[in-house]
Structure 1
């Protein structure tokens, strides 16, 4: 049975797609969680108002979007 294996002959398209989906969900999920936690901490644990906390959360989310987005170059998947 081991003689039937030939390195590099297997189609790994589905595994590659699953890996890229996992990385994308982990990346964007982490950003959403970070923005939410910053909003909640500022809203409930400091003297910052609701709208001030919301503004900081939105700023973090927008800045994170620009940092984490894929640029569409040759290296982007």
Structure 2
């Protein structure tokens, strides 16, 4: 049984695809966490204005995507997170203005 083995002749495409998928998911998760934590740190710990923090973090997200050679879906995700941040921040600002009178 072990004598039948010849090095380099096994089909490893499924293992390679699984590993590539794992690396892609790990990279996506890491970058989304970096962008999210950077935004939260800038807004709540540093006290920067939410809109300028959001713009800065979106730029950092695009640069990270360029550095890691991400596909177009990454940039769509960064844009979607930006729009989501603008909507949530705008609603929070309107709600706080309503409460203040």
> TM-score higher than 0.5 here?
yes
Q: Distance in 2 between matches of 1:8 and 1:27?
A: 29
Higher helix share: 2
RMSD: 1.7
TM-score by length of 1: 0.79
Q: Is the radius of gyration larger for structure 1 or structure 2?
A: 2
Cα deviation, residue 28, structure 1:
2.2
Stretches of structure 2 lacking an aligned partner (at least 5 in a row)? 71-101
Deviations 1:10-46 (A, max 9, x none): 1100011111111122222211111111000011111
Point out which structure has higher relative CO (alpha carbons under 8 A, 6+ apart): 1
Partner of 2:46: 46
Q: How does 1:1-77 map to 2 (within 5 A)?
A: 1-69=1-69
Off by >4 Å, runs of 4+ in structure 1: none
Q: What is the number of equivalent residue pairs in this alignment?
A: 71
